[in-house]
Structure 1
Amino acid sequence: MNSAAETLARLPSRLYRRRRRLALVLRETAGRVARWAALAFGVLVLLAGVVLTPLPGHLGLPLLVVGLMIVLRNSFQAKRRFLRWQRRHPKLIFPIRRLMRREPEIMLVAWQQLLRSEKVFLRKASWRVLKRGRKHLKRRWLKKQPV
């Protein structure tokens, strides 16, 4: 009689443990499915950005950055590859990392990329309009400032 009472007393705790275990497994599975869905969505956004980048307009690069953010937040392997790529090509990845911050410096990154592209296409320093124009404006601005 004593063993039957103990068995009945243990039964709710066994059921409770099974329910907790089942809930844990369901939560883990739902988390994995959500991560895979987010990863697939990120890849789709990345592909849309790749397709739209060469077209006129400025829709491609923001889509690339958003897609990359989604993929990097949901894939450990992608994060490792991105960091390895960053170590190999820091000048190429740095603007992307600046755009992925909480408060991205969009105008500064765009200006830096314009100066870099000007440097690539116009080899002679005397031909570079953006750099000279910025210096000219800076000198004019400093003259107008009351001291």
Structure 2
Amino acid sequence: MTRRDPRVVRRLSSLRRRRLAFVVRETLARIARLLLIALGVLILLAGAVLTPLPGHVGLPLLVIGLMVVLRNSFQAKRRFIRWQRRHPKLIFPIRRLMRREPEILLVAWQQLLRSEKVVLRRPTWRVLKRGRKAVRKRLRRRSAAA
């Protein structure tokens, strides 16, 4: 039997330790990712339940839950991108709300105009659109006079 060099034994044991540390780290990362996905789904469900109730709690919860799920699930990202390509008008406001500095008021205003367009078919009935145009005219007159 040949005797092993102690330096080789030390090198092998350090490689084994590094490999074990890598496996443990990867396993913990997967478990953390699965827990975050589960948390995101719970937040999404809470947002879906609270959306029809009075108050504006449901939509922010939906957006937060979607952000958590999309950051931790590759499959959910792929599905979201597929939905975005199929239904860009539906997904665009959600993407605007998921940015680092979301334009909440602009998204809310755009959704109000869209819902008004769906509910009130005739353009003469649309109060928000006419009000917006009246405000623009006043602002233009003030800036021209000044």
2:48 counterpart residue number: 50
2:112 counterpart residue number: 114
Task: Work out which of the residue numbers 102, 105, 117 in structure 1 matches 2:103.
Answer: 105
1:137 counterpart residue number: 135
Task: Work out which of the residue numbers 6, 9, 13 in structure 2 matches 1:8.
Answer: 6
| Structure 2 residue 57 is the aligned partner of structure 1 residue 59 | yes
Deviation of 1:14 after TM superposition, in Å, equals 1.0
Task: Work out which of the residue numbers 7, 19, 25 in structure 1 matches 2:23.
Answer: 25
Distance 1:59 1:8 in 2: 65
1:79 counterpart residue number: 77
SS in 2 for 1:66: helix
State the 4+ residue runs in structure 1 displaced beyond 6 angstroms.
none
2:126 counterpart residue number: 128
Using structure 2 for the length normalisation, give the TM-score: 0.95
Distance 2:120 2:100 in 1: 34
SS in 1 for 2:137: helix
Deviation of 1:92 after TM superposition, in Å, equals 0.4
**Superposition CA RMSD, Å:** 1.3
Distance 1:8 1:57 in 2: 71
- Deviation string, structure 1 residues 64-98 (Cα, Å, up to 9, x no partner): 00000000111111111111111111100000000
Using structure 1 for the length normalisation, give the TM-score: 0.95
Distance 1:23 1:144 in 2: 69
2:32 counterpart residue number: 34
Amino acid at match of 1:38: L
- Deviation string, structure 1 residues 81-135 (Cα, Å, up to 9, x no partner): 1111111111000000000011110000000000000000000000000000011
Long gaps (5+) in structure 1: none
Point out the more displaced range, 6-15 or 30-39. Answer: 6-15
Amino acid at match of 2:53: L
Distance 1:15 1:137 in 2: 75
Distance 2:101 2:7 in 1: 57
Amino acid at match of 2:68: I
Task: Work out which of the residue numbers 86, 89, 92 in structure 2 matches 1:91.
Answer: 89
